[in-house]
Amino acid sequence: MKGGSKLARGALALLAASRLGTVALRRGEQLRLGEHINALWIVVAAMANNDGLNYVPTDKRVLFGHHFAAIA
């Protein structure tokens, strides 16, 4: 891998991290000195709202199978 490619990937990673931080702060996340942004708001709906009817956690193989079947 060339140096420019590594630099571009690093810059992209920093940009993505800063954007995620911006979203967290806009959603009301509090940032105090010496702390980090809590990412608990990034939770899958099936885990947060497991009601046994509409939101039920499933095996990741089933999820990937349905995802790729929908794309094809």
> Which pTM was predicted?
0.42
User: What are the tens digits of pLDDT across the range 21-57?
Assistant: 888 788 777 777 666 666 555 555 666 777 877 777 7
**What whole-number distance in Å separates Cα of residue 57 and Cα of residue 49?**
9
- 2's torsion region: left (phi>0), alpha (psi -120 to 50) or beta? beta
Q: Where are the domains of the chain?
A: 1-41, 45-72
Lookup: tokens for 18: 């800063």
Identify the pLDDT of residue 11. Answer: 92
Supply angle C-alpha 2, 8, 11, rounded to 5. 145
Evaluate if residue 59 carries a pLDDT over 70: yes
CB 47 within 8 A of CB 56: no
Considering only CA atoms, which of 63, 60, 67, 23 is closest in space to residue 41?
23
Identify the pLDDT of residue 44. Answer: 58
